[in-house]
Structure 1
Amino acid sequence: MTSDYMRIDVLGVGEAFDPNFANSSVVVTAADFRLLIDCGATIAGHLMGKFPDPDAIDAIYFTHMHPDHIFGLVPVMLNWRDDGRSKPLHILCSPQLRTHLEKLMELGFTGLGSAWPFTIIWHSILDTDMIGPFDCKFARSDHSVQNHAILLRYANKGFAYSGDGNVTADTAALFTGADLVFQETYLTRHDPQHAAHCDLETVLQLASDMPGARFWLYHIKRDVRAEMAKIIQGNEQVRMAVPGEVIEIR
């Protein structure tokens, strides 16, 4: 049954090495099409638990190449192979990232067969403006490697996911098309040693400039979570994302 709204299933909200929270990842659903955004090293089991059908996920978008965003790909694909996936898998990413993902898949599949038993269809962010039912746009953040935030729009509603990195003029402009923004917020305040990550002060200013949008924070440094929660307590526009929650954008 098709829907006229977007559904967000939050799989993980943690930073790279958080012992208590799985790596950041969400599944966005509309019109019976499911797009997984990022698949880090600790995500595979959470994805399988939430979506056990090997054909449940139609496509994956990868924001950038760091392990907490891509290292779950091979375990997930191997599980889908063993469980009998039959539909093609669409993978959307930058051309540079595709090179790394293909190497990762080759290494991960060594000794396990000659080829993946299901079709893989690659899409470059340079020439893709639609994936499944979603209109999509991309903008580069300020990170240590190329990272591209994504905006998905469906039924006149928008969802943006920042990936990692500090807000840029391009990502801020991208977010104006969103009703809900998932923004990586590693620190409570700017730290030059972590200049390639976003901080809460930046997000609060962005939210002030965009009163019609909500901001859900994720990829929070594990030792600042309590402080950040205290700062935004009672803020109806900005809050911390919760693993396992389901959000509907209507």
Structure 2
Amino acid sequence: MVNQRRFLYSILATIIFLLFSTLGIIFSSTGSLTSLSQKFQIHVCPSESSRRTPPITRKFQSLTPLLGAQSDASPSHDTGRSWESLLLPENGGILKVRTDNHTITDYGISMFHQLHCLTVLRGLIFPETSQHHDASTSPSHSGNHHEDAVHWAHCFDYIAQAIICAADDTIEPPHSAFNEDGQRILVIDGMGHRHQCRDPEPLWRAVRDSGINAVELSHVKDTVKESEFTLKEEATCQGTCFMPEPYQSR
């Protein structure tokens, strides 16, 4: 009987030892996982700032001012209806920044860069209405075929990356239409649906204000939203930085 009890006690002691050993391994592994999670922090897109503002909504429509606008401003066309005048500020969307040596340097803003590229590519499709535009970030045609081809390839790549970055997840149901044979079909054209959008007004205001007083380099962060100069004027600028019709939310 005594030997049987000793045997049971030895088994119990072994089980307790193994239990504490297992717990020790678990806790040490948890500590390692915690240290790893601290080393590899999750990075988010700069636009996902902690200071979030409510999104605005836009209903995509098939008949917009852009549909009938010319590709570019030219003497033979109404400059008030050109793509540049409907999409870009007068200086092409350039942010004026005062650097440490007190010189003024041109900085880009991604939305305006994307729209510039779209205008350049549209000019390739409709060359008869495309002209050089001095206020653009760069001309669509330099006269050098190789340089132009590099620029156009850059624009395709840049716009593709911007679309992927935005990751618009609006679901677009199909609607019925008639094809050229008169048959009723279902099509998905993305029109008539509301999208959640970011407000473009701070970008226009930043460009406008920097043209009057250049932004100090120390105030420039990763995004316009995060930069300190955007906090100086939160109220709507009452028409002094009027945005063209395509920017008006509907």
TM range (shorter): under 0.3
Query: Which of 1 and 2 has higher RCO (CA within 8 Å, sep 6+)?
Result: 2
Q: TM-score, normalised by structure 1?
A: 0.27
Structure showing the higher strand proportion among its residues? 1
Q: TM-score, normalised by structure 2?
A: 0.27
Structure showing the higher helix proportion among its residues? 2
Larger of the two Rg values belongs to structure = 2
